[in-house]
Each structure stands twice: as C-alpha cells, then as structure tokens.
Amino acid sequence: MLRWGVLSTANINNRFIPQLLKSPRSQVTAIASRSIEKAESAAKMWNIPKVYGSYDDLLTDSEINAVYIPLPNSLHAEWAVRAAEQGKHCIVEKPITTKISDVDKLQKVAKEHNVLIVEGFVHIHHPQFKAIKEKITSGCIGALQYMTGSFCFKVDQEDNIMYSREHDGGSLWNLGCYPISLMIALLGESPQTVTAMKCETKSGVDGTCHCILQFSNSRHGCISASCIASSGTNFEIIGSKGKISLNKIRAFHPDCGDNANYFDVSVSGEPEERVTVPNVDAFLSEITAFEASVLDGISPVVSLELSKLIVTTIIALHKSACQGGMPVSL
Amino acid sequence: MLRWGVLSTANINNRFIPQLLKSPRSQVTAIASRSIEKAESAAKMWNIPKVYGSYDDLLTDSEINAVYIPLPNSLHAEWAVRAAEQGKHCIVEKPITTKISDVDKLQKVAKEHNVLIVEGFVHIHHPQFKAIKEKITSGCIGALQYMTGSFCFKVDQEDNIMYSREHDGGSLWNLGCYPISLMIALLGESPQTVTAMKCETKSGVDGTCHCILQFSNSRHGCISASCIASSGTNFEIIGSKGKISLNKIRAFHPDCGDNANYFDVSVSGEPEERVTVPNVDAFLSEITAFEASVLDGISPVVSLELSKLIVTTIIALHKSACQGGMPVSL
C-alpha cells in the first residue's frame, strides 16, 4: 500500500488527488503547504488525515512512503532529492527538472535510497500511448518518417508562473515538453540534432518555439509550442504507407477525457480506422503504473533514463533557440 | 486580346487551357511540343489552330503575344528569356527558376523587351488570398505571430519528375514552394533567417523537408513539405487574438474547387466565422489578373520581385538543409 504525502496545494492536485482516492493500492495520508491554512483547506476538501505547514515536516513523517511533487518547475529536483533521502518514492510533475546535473542527482539518490522517482508525464501513461506504439510496430503505416506535434494555447494572465523566468517558465518546458516527450518515448531515443527558433515574451521566456528534431535514420520531429497563441493541439505520426492522428483537441491535456480514448489510422487506399482504447483517466493510469513499479517491481513507464533524454533534448532546443536556430547536437 | 502559345504538352495544360478558352480576353493560338504528334493531339483536343514541333518555331510566330511555360523546372528560365526576347508576355509555372541569377536575367529581359513575366502561383491569384490578407489587416486575429503550412503527399512513381535531381525535383521546389510563397506574399517580405532539415530520396532530392522561417518582428513560419509521405495539406495563420485556417484538404491544389472558396476565422471567445469568397477556378483568376496587367497596366499579383524573394528563400532553405539545419541568413 502506498501512503501518499502531497507537497503543495497546486491546482493540478484537483486532477491528481481524486484519482489517488480512487486507487485501492494508494491512500492520501498528508498534505503540506508553506501556508498551513491552505493545507488545512485542501485536507478538508479531500478528507486527508494529516496536514503540515512545511514540506520538510511532511517528508519526515515515517507513515508516508510516497510523495507527489507538483511544485514550480524550478523546485522539482530539490524536493525530489529531499524526499528520496527520506526513503519516499516520488512522482514529480513535468518537467522533472530543467538541468542535466539534477537528473544525475536524482538517479544517484534513487539508487542509494532504493526508491522510485518518476516524472509525471500523464499522456505517456495513458493506454492510448501503448496502443499507438503497438500500431507503429505492426508496420501498418510503414516505416516511420516524421512526426508533427503542437501544443499551443494562450495563457492570458501575465503573472502566471508560465511567464516566470525564475521558475523555468516558457513554452518549451511547460507545453512543448508534451509532444517532445511523446516523440522520444515512441522512438526510445533522443534526437541527434535539434534546431529551434523562438519568440520571447516581455518577461524573457520563450512565448513561442518552433523546433525540428533530427532522429536516427533521417526521421524527424516538427514541434510548435506556444503560451502566447491559441493555435491548438495535435499530434501526427507519418509513415511511408499512412499516418496516425491523435485527436486534435487536447491530446496532451490531463483532463482530455473522451478525447484520449481513441486515435485514427489512415492508410492510403484503405478506409480510415478509429482505434478505441480504454477510457481511463490518465492520472489514474500514472498512479496504477507507479504502484505496480513500487509494489510489484514492474519497470516504470517513464524511467529516469527516458526523463534524461527529454531534459537533454529540451535544453538543446533552448540552446539552439538562444543562438538563432543554430543546430545543437546531443 | 492575348493570343497564346503553349510551350509543351504537360499535364497541367489540362487545368490551364480550359480556363484560357473561357476567358474573353484570351485565345489559344498555338501549341508546341518537341513531338509534333503530341502537339497535334493536344491541338485537336482543344481546337487550337496552330501546332509547332519546336518551341523556337512557336516563339517566332508574330501572331502570338503571350506564352504559357509549363516545362520542367530546370527549363523555365531559359524559355521565359527566349520568349521575352521575342516580345512575348509569359506565365511561367512555379518555380519560375531555381537560381537567383535567372531571376535577375528575367527582370532584365522583361524590362528590355517591355513584356510581363509572371510566376504561376495559382493560389496567390485566387480571391481567397486577397480576402485572407484583408482579414489579417482588419486586426481581428490580433498581431500576426506565426504561420504553419504543410503540403505533403506521396508521389508513388519513382520515375516521376519530382524525383529528378536534374530537373530540380524534390519537396521544397515542388510542394513547399506553395506554403512558402503564401507566407512571403502575405507578409510582403522574405524571412531574415531560415533553418531546415531534410530526408533525402535515393535519387538525391529532398523527399521531406521541415523548415522554420524567421521573419521580422519575431514572426515565424513553420513548414513541412514531402513527396514521400501523405500527411496532408494545411495552412494556418496565428495571431495574438485568434487564427485563420484554410481548409485542410488541398488548400494549395489548383483543382481544389469548392475547398478554396472559404476559410475559417477563430477568435477566442467568439463563434468561429466561415468567410466565403467567389468560387473561381484559381487558373482563371491567374489568367484574368495577367490580362489586366498586360492589357490595362494593373500591377501583377505575383511580381518578379516577389518571385525573387521566394526563390531566394527556397535556395536558403536548401542550403540550410544541406548543412544539417545550420541557420542561413538572407
């Protein structure tokens, strides 16, 4: 049984905690906030037994053996390390960190303390992902040639954390990470070379970023990410014989509900096929997979090795964008 | 009155000549082919009075004052120069040339012989283009931020001219040129810097090309072109307040018929608006505009200056793709 502590009262708790409460192998034991009032209010809402006014206090609670970390991006690694040092398994919201050295630290601390640390990429946990991977492997769309993905929606509030340079805001770390991670998870490799161009916001983060990822065997990824324009969301996988299209609306959104339970396969000369998968909440898939890894020893869906490929790629894209599109090799 | 000669019996004549025949200010006077039999067969089909077994013979026919040049890409400039030297106005199929020096030559010869030379970008002549430009200018989608365009369909025949290195085949010159030209025509400028990555075919042309175009004021274009994968066709213009979407199917195709007579405008918080434009055949728009330029002195829609921006951009994209995505400044 996993007994969870939740570090902070971030909005995403509204998606994560209800799924934790549904899961028979998990229970929500405690929640912490720097504001004890906020922690108490959240505890009351979800009937969580314990509240803490500091993250450190929660981490020393020996009853807790798993921690959910939905803190601002810039704090993810620090608190995952501290949690691991206290012997807690962790799900850390994406991006798990924005520094390679932090991934190394997380790998080290996880090994030393024999805990599992997993990045919270909900879309990779959804049954849709496995079904797509099987479809590609079946060869029905032929040899994979390129993938296109975009995740672009306008965040109106100028004080939103997505615009904060200090907290590693911007379109790539917060939105582009979805299609980027999906491409890397599907191919099982990071790109060899990337190039990117960006449009900066007044606050100094990448408001929009366009990226080309060159993978092995001349396979490409083409990505648009934006937090200043609402051009929508889509993902397509193009092969020599056909393509797989994820629903264009909210394909990466945690609460995409019915929109994530299918995808379309078009093979030239054949009628379009709609493949339906179990309509599971992606957070519940994530929690169930995490439980299976911790309690049954099943390999994690999003390993720290995979997270490292993703972080390395996004750092390279940032570097390219800062150098006006100069290709960056990984 | 324009009295046309057609240089060659290319398939695209099936789209162009029927529109010429409809136009009251044009008549089809002659057709030439290196094979006199092919020329005779085409002349019979469209009831064209004169046939020639050589392009040069047609060009010396003093009755003819306008020439349509749908030859292979690599021959466009050479024959446009020869036609202009004989005092003929020309519509040259896209790409008008694949060399900057050729555009300079065309500008010079057009001036010297007082003729009009126009690149055959049908989509820029369609009323859809003008209506989109007016919509952007109206400010309803806010400040233009980026545009995405793709034109990807698989050409199965390995001996198709699109795979010919000698005839300047490949995805960029033949398909990418549509969204690229549309972006440049809409903004009235070439990009400042471009980056591109390609996947080469066995024949040595770019089978797929992904491109990022950086325009002034941090505006971007993001383009996918492919003749080896059928991922489809679309074009979107994204502003700070909303976006304009062209019909995803065949937006750039000359015979797109009903699909080109509208576009959709989405502004956040408002119901989507479908803007309908006259359902004119794009070739007829092109011919009508050409007649108005030659006979009435109206400025051409696709000027040689615009063609030069487009050719310069595609050459820069090729250069970047050949250098693994290195940014190329224009």
- Name the percent of chain A lying above pLDDT 70: 97
pLDDT for the residue numbered A77: 95
Residue B193 neighbours by CB under 8 Å, 6+ apart = A197, A324, A325, B213, B214, B327, B328, B329, B330
> Please, which pLDDT band fits residue B250 given cuts at 50, 70 and 90?
low
Burial environment of residue A66 by CB neighbours within 10 A (0 to 12, 13 to 18, 19 or more) = buried
Burial of A217 (0-12, 13-18, 19+ CB in 10 A): exposed
Residue B14: DSSP 8-state: H
Selected residue with higher pLDDT from A256 and B73: B73
Residues A135 and A219 placed together within one structural domain of the fold: yes
Within its chain, how far is the Cα of B233 from the centroid? 15
Q: Is the pLDDT of residue A312 over 80?
A: yes
> Which CATH number covers residue A114?
3.40.50.720
A→B interface, C-beta within 8 Å: 145-146, 148, 150, 152, 154, 193, 195-197, 199-200, 208, 210-212, 214, 218-220, 222, 224, 226, 228-231, 236, 238-240, 242-243, 268, 324-327
pLDDT at position B97, please? 95
Q: What is the structure's pLDDT at A250?
A: 61
What is the H or E stretch that residue B129 is in? helix B127-137
Same domain, B193 and B84: no
Q: How far is CA A75 from CA A36, A69, B12, B206, in A?
A: 19, 9, 60, 44
Q: What is the 3-state secondary structure (H, E, C) of B199-227?
A: EECCCCCEEEEEEEEECHHHCEEEEEEEC
Query: For residue A257, what pLDDT is reported?
Result: 64
A274-288, A314-328, B60-74: which has the minimum mean pLDDT?
Answer: A274-288
Mean of the per-residue pLDDT values for chain B? 94
Q: Does pLDDT of A159 surpass 70? A: yes
Q: How far apart are CA A177 and CA A197, in angstroms?
A: 16
Q: Report the distance separating Cα A284 and Cα A122, nearest Å.
A: 9
- H-assigned helices in chain A: 13-22, 36-46, 55-59, 76-85, 100-112, 122-125, 127-137, 171, 177-187, 282-296, 304-322
Q: Is residue A299 part of a domain?
A: no
All residues of chain A having their beta carbon less than 8 Å from the beta carbon of residue B171 are: none
pLDDT band with cut points at 50, 70 and 90 for residue A311: very high
Distance CA A85, CA A112 (A): 8
Instruction: Indicate whether A268 and A203 sit together in one domain.
Output: yes
Q: Does the N-terminal peptide bond of residue B95 adopt cis geometry, omega within 30 degrees of 0? A: yes
**Is B54 in the same domain as B150?**
no
- Taking the CA of residue A327 and the nearest CA in chain B, the distance in Å comes to 6
User: Cβ of B240 and A228 within 8 Å?
Assistant: yes
pLDDT 10s digits, A71-106? 999 999 999 999 999 999 999 999 999 999 999 999
The pLDDT score that the predictor gives to residue A247 is: 74
Distance CA(B256)–CA(B73), nearest Å, equals 22
Alpha-carbon gap, residue A168 to A172, rounded angstroms: 10
Of A120, A149, A167, the one marking the end of a domain is: A120
Amino acid identity of residue A48, one-letter, is I
Q: Which amino acid would we find at residue A189? A: E
- Cis before A24? omega within 30: no
Is B133 within the bounds of a domain?
Answer: yes
The helix, strand and coil proportions of chain B, stated in percent and rounded to the nearest 5, come to: 40, 25, 35
Using CB atoms, pick whichever of B145, B152, B239 lies closest to residue A199.
B145
User: Residue B186 domain-assigned?
Assistant: yes
Q: Does residue B300 fall inside a structural domain? A: no
Q: Which of B205, B212, B223 to mutate to test the interface with A (most CBs of A within 10 A)?
A: B212
* A137 and A203 share one domain: yes
Identity of residue B133: K
Share of chain B above pLDDT 90, in %: 84
Mark whether B202 and B266 lie in a shared domain. Answer: yes
Lowest mean pLDDT among B141-150, B230-239, B240-249: B240-249
| C-alpha span between A198 and A207 (Å, rounded) | 7
What one-letter code names the amino acid at B48?
Answer: I
Q: In chain B, which residue's Cα lies nearest the Cα of A141?
A: B229
Q: Is A226 within 8 Å of B146 when comparing Cβ atoms?
A: yes
- Tell me which chain A residue has its CA closest to the CA of residue B218: A199
Looking at the fold, whether B171 and B209 belong to one and the same domain comes out as yes
- The string of pLDDT tens digits covering residues A162-204 is 899 888 899 999 999 999 999 999 999 999 999 999 999 999 9
Contacts of residue A146, defined as CB under 8 A and 6 or more positions apart, other chains included, come to A219, A220, A221, A222, A238, B199, B208, B210, B224, B226, B229, B231
Q: Is residue A20 assigned to a domain? A: yes
A265 and A142 assigned to the same domain: yes
Percentage of chain A modeled with pLDDT above 90: 85
Give which of B247, B205, B246 is closest to B226, Cα–Cα: B205
pLDDT tens, position by position, A201-248? 999 999 999 999 999 999 999 999 999 998 888 899 999 999 999 876
Which SS3 state, helix, strand or coil, does residue B51 take? strand
pLDDT of residue A278: 86
Burial label for A276, CB within 10 Å (0-12, 13-18, 19+), is: exposed
In angstroms, the Cα distances linking B69 to A224, B57, B61, B119, B298 are 38, 15, 16, 10, 22
- Among residues A92, A120, A148, the one where a domain terminates is A120
Q: How many CB pairs under 8 A join A and B?
A: 122
* pLDDT tens for each residue of B120-165: 999 899 888 999 999 999 999 999 999 999 999 899 888 888 999 8
Note whether residue B293 is domain-resident: no
Q: Which residues of B304-322 are buried (b: 16+ CB within 10 A; e: fewer)?
A: bebbbbbbbbbbbbbebbe
pLDDT at position B249 over 70: no
> Testing the interface with A: which of B205, B215, B222, B233 to mutate, by most A Cβ within 10 A?
B222
Task: Report the percentage of chain B scoring pLDDT > 70.
Answer: 97
> What is the reported pLDDT for A255?
64
Chain A residues whose CB is inside 8 A of the B145 CB are: 199, 208, 226, 228-229
Per-residue pLDDT tens digits for B294-323:
999 999 999 999 999 999 999 999 999 999
User: Looking at the structure, do residues B134 and B244 belong to the same domain, yes or no?
Assistant: yes
**pLDDT at residue B168, rounded to an integer:** 87
Residue of B nearest to A217 (CA): B199
B296 lies in some domain:
no
Residue A258 has pLDDT above 90, yes or no: no
Beta bridge partners of B209: B198, B225
As a whole number of angstroms, the distance between CA B111 and CA B11 comes to 31
| Residues of chain A with C-beta less than 8 angstroms from the C-beta of B219 | 199
pLDDT (mean) for B280-301:
94
The CA distance from A95 to A174, in Å, is 7
Shortest CB distance from B231 goes to which of A212, A224, A243?
A243
Residue of A nearest to B214 (CA): A197
Regarding whether B250 and B131 lie in a shared domain, the answer is yes
Q: Which of A304-308, B105-109, B278-282 has the lowest mean pLDDT?
A: B278-282
- Write the pLDDT tens digit of every residue in B17-59: 999 999 999 999 999 999 999 999 999 999 999 999 999 999 9
- What is the count of structural domains for chain B? 2
More confident of the two residues A197 and A257: A197
- For residue A95, being part of any structural domain is answered with yes
Do B164 and B205 share a domain, yes or no?
yes
Strand order in the sheet with A206-214: A273-276, A262-267, A242-246, A232-239, A144-152, A220-226, A206-214, A193-200, A328-329
Domain limits for position A110: 2-120
- Here the CATH number for the domain that contains residue A256 is 3.30.360.10
Residue B220: pLDDT over 90: yes
Which of A57, A90, A120 lies at the terminal end of a domain, its last residue?
A120
Q: Are B105 and B131 in contact (CB under 8 A)?
A: no
Q: Are residues A112 and A138 in the same domain?
A: no
Cross-chain CB nearest to B230 (options A212, A268, A324): A268
pLDDT of residue B81: 98
- Tokens representing B268 are 């956040």
> Residues with Cβ < 8 Å from B137, sequence gap 6 or more?
none
